[in-house]
Chain A
Amino acid sequence: MARDEQVPGIRPRPSLGRRLDIMARHSFPATITVLLMLLCGLPFGFADQAVLLPSVTLGAVFFWSLFRPGSLPPPVVFLLGFLLDLLGYLPIGCGILTLLLVHGMARRWRRMLTQQGFIMVWLAFICVGTGASALIWALTSLLSLRVMPIGPALFQAVLTAALYPALAALLIGAHRTIANPERV
């Protein structure tokens, strides 16, 4: 709504319906991330399904932090991280810290990355996702005082990178249509 107030021009009266619509579009990134996270918990019945949750969450948070940081402010990322810790049975704080760092990096590189093509964004995300998987592994190992097996961490890094194009395709579609606050 901030942009609506700042940019001069003729626009329809801000009725209740329009306000609700704008609000829904603003809260779409956080909502869809939470929904995707909850979907990951369903028993799909394939092996190592638990890796899906951090992979999808990292992808979604990176995407929205890059393309719609206004709708995903740090406090929301904090809450998403807390949800990741609870749903993913990670030590509390581990997911929060990781997601905040991913968010911070995405915002820092925002200017540069949003002008590049998809491949560059994906490459950047592969680095970020691998770093995040390593951080989750290191924090879990540190907090449980034992070296966790490295296999799941590697698998998580690979799955995170591999899932991103599909996730981005879904989110880009939403970003341009139903989540776009300027298309009210």
Chain B
Amino acid sequence: MIRLSIPARQILSKLTLPVLIAASFAMLLVGKADTMLAERARVALGDSLAPIYVALSEPLAQARAGVTEIVDLWNMRAENAQLRDENARLRQWQATALALDAENRRLKADLHWVPDPTAAFVTARVVADAGGVYARAVLLALGPNHFIHRGEIALDQSGLVGRVTEVGARTARVLLITDLNSRVPVVLEPSGGHAIMTGTNGPRPRLLYWADGTPPREGERVVTSPEADAFPANLPVGTVRFSATNVPEVQLAAQLDRLEVVRIFDYGLNAMVPPEPTHSEPTRPVAADRLK
């Protein structure tokens, strides 16, 4: 240690805070100028923390499962009645679906239909919340030799979850479709209208930019559109719900607040991923910008 005189030390200790505050302004500018720097630092930090999160997520998941079980036991009676009701309805639908499936197969055979190739996927565990107060994202733990790339698509068991935006050595970050920066081209069924689903950081993304003739209607199914080559066609997203202020929103099929395991699909759609996506606007489809 360098020995300083007491007045010098006092001056130095008084100066530290203002100097550091000035440095933090400099950091603000540097972070804005070079967003890749922050991204690299985050990926490195995520990679080094992932083993801890993986180790701790197992007992946490068990504790959570225990709590859910108690709540489930409590609700069992009501749920049972509801399920019986639903089962009766679903049986009718099953008969319809089987008939339609048979018909579909017959028609496809008549048309010499070329089926879509099945996409390759890997399953990954969600180990941490990688969003912030103003972002919605999750961190996935991967093996050291994974083949996940930016722009690949994440789904849970029932619907679209988001897209991979940052990939590290053993982690990947998935930007959820509820994030403020998320834009997904969608098709409404059965009307066939196109729209853009934009995240609001809230639980339900909004629908924007639909064509004049086909406004979204309550209860319509929302699926992804292959437009702009960012998503494959017909991935289930959710259903249209109108909010209290009469804004069309999407009730998501995926359970984004309880993600435990997601599947990452490689559809080979790399056309829309910029070479160096920035943190503030990660992998936004170009079509969304054009439509603005």
Contacts and interface: CB of A to CB of B under 8 A. Distances in A.
Given A86-B45, A156-B133, A47 B257 contact: yes
Given A77-B20, A89-B131, A97-B21, 11 more contacts: A45-B64, A45-B257, A86-B42, A88-B132, A89-B132, A92-B37, A93-B27, A93-B28, A100-B21, A107-B17, A149-B200
Nearest to A104: B17
Given A43-B128, A140-B134, A103 B17 contact: yes
A50 B129 contact: yes
**SS of A interface (majority):** helix
B264 interface: no
Interface in B53-70: 53, 56-57, 60-61, 64
Interface string B1-34: 0000000000000001100110111111111100
A103 B17 CA distance: 9
Nearest to B138: A43
A159 B257 CA distance: 19
Contacts of A94: 28
Interface string A35-49: 000100111110101
A43 B54 CA distance: 10
A78 interface: yes
B41 interface: yes
B28 A75 contact: no
A42 B23 contact: no
A36 to B, nearest CB: 14
Q: Does more than half of chain B's interface fall in helix, strand or loop, or is it mixed? A: helix
B201 interface: yes
A73 B200 CA distance: 39
B contact residues, range: 35 or more
Interface in B108-158: 126-135, 137
B49 A38 contact: yes
A43 B52 CA distance: 12
Interface in A78-137: 78, 81-82, 85-94, 96-97, 100-101, 103-104, 107, 136
Interface of A: 38, 41-45, 47, 49-51, 53-54, 73-75, 77-78, 81-82, 85-94, 96-97, 100-101, 103-104, 107, 136, 139-140, 143-144, 146, 148-149, 152-153, 156
A43 B53 CA distance: 9
Nearest to B67: A45
B76 interface: no
Nearest to B21: A100
A88 B133 contact: yes
Contact of A75 (B16, B60, B135): B16
B75 interface: no
Nearest to A136: B133
B287 to A, nearest CB: 20
B246 interface: no
Given A86-B41, A92-B28, A143-B28, A74 B134 contact: no
B13 to A, nearest CB: 8
Contacts of B60: 42-45
A106 to B, nearest CB: 11
B38 interface: yes
